[in-house]
Structure 1
Amino acid sequence: MPGNKNVVFDVVGTLACYDELYDGIDARIGDRLRKEGIKPSLLGYTWIEVAEREYTYLSMAGAYKPFDTVFEAVFYRILFSAGIQDPHGFASAEDLAFIMAANNKMRFRDGAVECISKLRDAGFTVWAMTAADKGRVRGYFEEAGLDLPLENLVSSDDTGIAKPTLSGYLPLFEQLNQGERPWFAAAHKWDVSAANRIGYRGAYCSLLEHDPLPDLFGTMEVEEPTLPALADRIIALS
């Protein structure tokens, strides 16, 4: 039975950062990329964005695949789109395996543990809703020294419905909407704005995207530049 006060967090990009992925790209093929005028972090960002699009489109078409499967599959497309004419000659299967392993070692960003600790100390139950593999995401919490019960972790893999399809947010919202209206917190404005549309109170942290684009996504009830400040504001409004 959920508690009276609940916060659902997106994980990858919000609590966990992409530094390990970017560092893995740089360590393995960074020198090759720079010779082609390609910044490793920009390649990584483009890879994430394109993978999210393909993942979402597959879900919309009723052909859901786990995000990690899609992410790995589109790698050579990204290299080709960046101007590499022979992507498989440029980066080997071993290079890709190295980078994927680095991606699996993501860690919580600065302020994430403080944010969750503040909320729990104030009586909130913390939940996680992710497109990523449950085991990997739970590992991020364990690496940070935080416990997350498996029943408090929801993956799109469970339903075969990718965020931001509105129906994907609904089951957990209905489960938690028994006392105070639950919060949804994310550093992706598209994510928190979609959750807000089905009833969640929205909390947006701008540390990832910088520009909140209110004309596109609206303004959330809480908008803060850091995760600890986000927690403080949620607590103050609850």
Structure 2
Amino acid sequence: MSNVLILGANGNIAKLVEKQILTETDHHLTLFLRNAKRLSISDPSRETVIEGDATDVRSIVAALDGIDIVYANLAGKNIEDEAKATLAAMDQVGIDRLIWISTLGIYDEVPGNFGKWNHQQLDGGYLETYAAAAKVIENSGLKYTIIRPAWLSNDDIVSYETTQRDDPFKGTKVSRKSIADFVVRLINDPSAQVRHSVGVNQPNTDGDKPSFM
């Protein structure tokens, strides 16, 4: 059993991770988000909600009491600041296992026409900030796993394959359920994919852009 802190707990993938953990494991969850009123918990014996700002080191430090693993489901233009605050808080408390959701394309690793299309969609402030946040994490001493999902769908399917940092990205889309499943696998086996940046896609979805676009 592990004590897991979820930063950005109101996100769609985070909610799927929460549900899967409660159903399949005996882990305890601390759910951290900016507005606690937005979140309802289903198992008060295993879940604690903390309201806080993910750019505030003191808020994160307070949430880290007794935590074994941090799963960050953060987003926004200030994600680099959130990465810096998360690392500073974890260093202060002495916790070193981090699972971090990023995005595809931060290393210019997406090939072909899909790579060009992805740049057209995400350049101009999104890829740049997510790449900067990933660099902060990779330059740390933490046992991190960065997850780079393909374009996300709400398909009711768990089907995915992975690539590593220096591999060409595969596929164009992946379900949020698949990313949640991968996160839960890492929580269940904290020694897996340590200091790796992992691309995650649904097999056989190659193309010039995701099928739902």
TM-score normalised over the length of structure 1: 0.42
Would you tell me which structure has more strand in proportion to its own residues?
2
Greater relative CO (CA pairs within 8 A, separation 6+): 1
TM-score normalised over the length of structure 2: 0.46
Would you tell me which structure has more helix in proportion to its own residues?
1
